[in-house]
């Protein structure tokens, strides 16, 4: 009766183990659970879990445990396993059936050996050598292969020295032990296969995301690292919020699933840029379309200079030494100097800047009124309305219409992401990714959301996107700002209702900016930061 109760108890334990295996997401922890559960239900002193490497056709040691010798290697421990892999085939390609583990792997059959020292047909020389060195006595062995649903070898589970539950005496593994472990190995193989398949799908999914980001980055060398840096900074700030223990966000916690969801959102936050025209994304100068039109202006200046020379020669009758024509020649030379200065000025305007002065914009309009004769003989203004619009761009190199094209990437991003059948644990990816251009005061785009209408994850991404842009040194019209300059601007954004104030406090207090700078910014940009000079900094909490 007691043995029946014992078996029922062990079956119940096996069922509980199976449930636990199906719920374990981490492969390393899953392997640990498989070995420890097998040892527990058989009361084994030692055990080893091997995983099959199909490329090398070997069994690799993954976890080794021996209680009586206090051996803990591999798995969750930090102790590496130094044993050589078990070869399943010899140099000639013949199967290795000499060892118990390799035989179980090759045959797909369980091997139950009551006493290794009395067994025949297997090579236990390595075991006996180990025993001689350690004083251990390896006696009973239970070796169970693990295969997936297609009958492919996954690994081998080997248990050593079953112990009597009453006195602790080393005994053979019973038939019940073997059945239980075989059942457990089958459940473990399913759990491990499922976990591997999920991991492979996740890796494939992330590879597709990286493929999209690579395509986006390759379109523009000026924003080449943006899609890679923003997700990293997003996770840095998210982790900082999770570990903070003061302020309004002290109770915020991200689980591993939450972190993964935010990571994917970060990786996809600009996926809509894949549809943005290259000549807009990659516009290095104000007059650039398919080529830089500044060269056309150079040609017009040469025409104006030629016309000025012709006019001068007509007035002087080619009398270059006549004193009465000196004033005419002086006017001509002054005109040439003016045209050269105007050409150099327009070249500088074409480069773009963070702020173009009103006086400079007016000078462009004055130059635009110069007259020149085009190839058809028609007299035209020196600059077209489109050229004036581009050369008087206040900040950067994009016109309002071009900036609208750029801004439309977020609408495309939302459309793309909302069209995907997201699984439950990633259902918030579109919402998180869609909010990184919104403002806390409702003045952002594309939806004009306020702080209360946005999840914290979207607000985290918004700060990451801005700070990356401020510090980036790969923009066509500016160099990357220093840490202190970037924090000053970010502080003004906080006070202006642009970014989340509580997240800004965490960003500064937890020194996320410094962690990011050390990883991505050149030393010349990492200056000393005086927090007392940063607007909006809350140093009291």
Shared domain check, 517 and 412: yes
Q: What number is the average pLDDT over the span 105-121? A: 94
Shared domain check, 247 and 375: no
Q: Is the separation of the CB atoms in 389 and 333 below 8 Å?
A: no
Q: pLDDT, tens digit, for every residue of 445-457?
A: 899 999 999 999 9
Return the ∠ at Cα 61 (arms to 32 and 99), rounded to 5°. Answer: 125
Tell which of 377, 397, 417 closes a domain: 397
Q: Is the separation of the CB atoms in 102 and 87 below 8 Å?
A: yes
Domain harbouring 529, CATH code: 1.10.3210.10
Q: pLDDT, tens digit, for every residue of 384-416?
A: 999 999 999 998 888 888 888 888 888 898 999
SS3 state at 269: coil
Quote the mean pLDDT of the chain: 88
Q: Is residue 241 predicted with pLDDT exceeding 50?
A: yes
Shared domain check, 384 and 267: no
Shared domain check, 169 and 42: yes
Residues of 140-155 as b/e, b for ≥16 C-beta within 10 angstroms?
Answer: bbbbbbbbeeeeebbb
Do the domain assignments include residue 539? no
Q: What is the pLDDT of residue 217?
A: 72
Measured in whole angstroms, the distance separating CA 260 from the mean position of its chain's CA atoms is 10
Shared domain check, 406 and 317: no
Domain count, the chain: 3
Do the domain assignments include residue 541? no
pLDDT band at 24 (very low <50, low <70, confident <90, very high): low
Tell which of 397, 431, 464 closes a domain: 397
Domain harbouring 63, CATH code: 3.30.450.40
Q: What is the pLDDT of residue 10?
A: 62
Shared domain check, 406 and 386: no
Shared domain check, 41 and 187: yes
Shared domain check, 386 and 443: no
Task: Pick the more confident residue, 26 or 258.
Answer: 258
Shared domain check, 410 and 392: no
pLDDT band at 192 (very low <50, low <70, confident <90, very high): confident
Domain span holding position 389: 294-397
Residue 3 DSSP code:
H
Shared domain check, 167 and 19: yes
Do the domain assignments include residue 204? no
Do the domain assignments include residue 209? no
Do the domain assignments include residue 481? yes
Q: What is the pLDDT of residue 1?
A: 44
Q: Is residue 4 predicted with pLDDT exceeding 90?
A: no
């Amino acid at each position: 009766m007691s043995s029946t109760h014992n078996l029922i108890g062990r079956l119940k334990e096996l069922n509980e183990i199976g449930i636990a295996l199906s719920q374990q997401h981490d492969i390393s922890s899953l392997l640990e659970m498989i070995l420890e559960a097998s040892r527990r239900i058989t009361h084994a002193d030692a055990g080893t879990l091997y995983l099959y490497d199909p490329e090398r056709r070997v069994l690799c040691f993954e976890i080794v445990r021996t209680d009586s010798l206090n051996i803990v290697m591999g798995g969750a421990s930090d102790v590496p396993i130094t044993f050589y892999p078990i070869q399943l085939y010899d140099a000639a390609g013949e199967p290795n059936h000499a060892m118990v583990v390799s035989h179980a792997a090759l045959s797909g059959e369980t091997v139950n050996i009551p006493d290794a020292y009395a067994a025949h047909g297997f090579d236990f020389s390595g075991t006996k050598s180990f025993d001689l060195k350690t004083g251990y006595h390896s006696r009973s062995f239970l070796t169970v292969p693990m295969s997936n649903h297609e009958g492919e070898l996954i690994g081998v589970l080997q248990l050593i020295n079953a112990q009597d539950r009453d006195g602790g005496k080393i005994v053979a593994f019973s038939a019940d032990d073997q059945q239980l472990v075989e059942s457990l190995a089958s459940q473990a193989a399913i759990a491990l296969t499922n976990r591997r398949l999920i991991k492979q799908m996740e890796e494939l999914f992330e590879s597709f995301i990286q493929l999209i980001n690579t395509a986006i980055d390759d379109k523009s060398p000026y924003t080449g690292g943006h899609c890679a840096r923003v997700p990293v900074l997003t996770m840095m700030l998210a982790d900082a919020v999770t570990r903070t223990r003061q302020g309004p966000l002290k109770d915020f916690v991200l689980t591993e699933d939450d972190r993964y969801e935010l990571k994917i959102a970060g990786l996809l936050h600009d996926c809509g840029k894949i549809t943005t025209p290259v000549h807009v994304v990659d516009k290095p100068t104000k007059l650039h379309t398919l080529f830089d039109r500044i060269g056309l202006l150079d040609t017009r200046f040469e025409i104006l200079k030629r016309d000025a020379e012709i006019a001068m020669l007509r007035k002087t009758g080619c009398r270059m030494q006549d004193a009465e024509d000196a004033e005419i020649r002086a006017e001509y030379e002054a005109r040439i100097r003016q045209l050269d200065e105007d050409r150099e000025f327009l070249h500088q305007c074409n480069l773009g800047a963070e702020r173009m002065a009103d006086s400079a914009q007016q000078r462009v309009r004055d130059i635009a009124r110069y007259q020149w004769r085009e190839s058809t003989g028609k007299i035209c203004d020196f600059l077209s309305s489109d050229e004036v619009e581009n050369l008087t761009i206040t900040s950067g190199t994009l016109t309002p219409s071009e900036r609208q094209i750029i801004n439309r990437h977020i609408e495309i991003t939302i459309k793309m992401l909302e069209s995907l059948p997201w699984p439950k644990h990633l259902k918030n990816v579109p919402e998180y990714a869609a909010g990184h251009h919104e403002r806390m005061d409702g003045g952002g785009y594309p939806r004009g959301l306020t702080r209360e209408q946005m999840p914290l994850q979207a607000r985290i991404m918004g700060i990451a996107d801005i700070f990356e842009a401020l510090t980036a040194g790969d923009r066509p019209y500016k160099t990357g700002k220093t840490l202190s300059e970037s924090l000053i601007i970010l502080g003004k954004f906080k006070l202006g209702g642009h970014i989340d104030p509580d997240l800004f406090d965490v960003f500064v207090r937890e020194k996320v900016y410094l962690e990011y700078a050390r990883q991505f910014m050149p030393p010349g940009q990492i200056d000393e930061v005086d927090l007392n000079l940063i607007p909006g900094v809350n140093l009291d909490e």
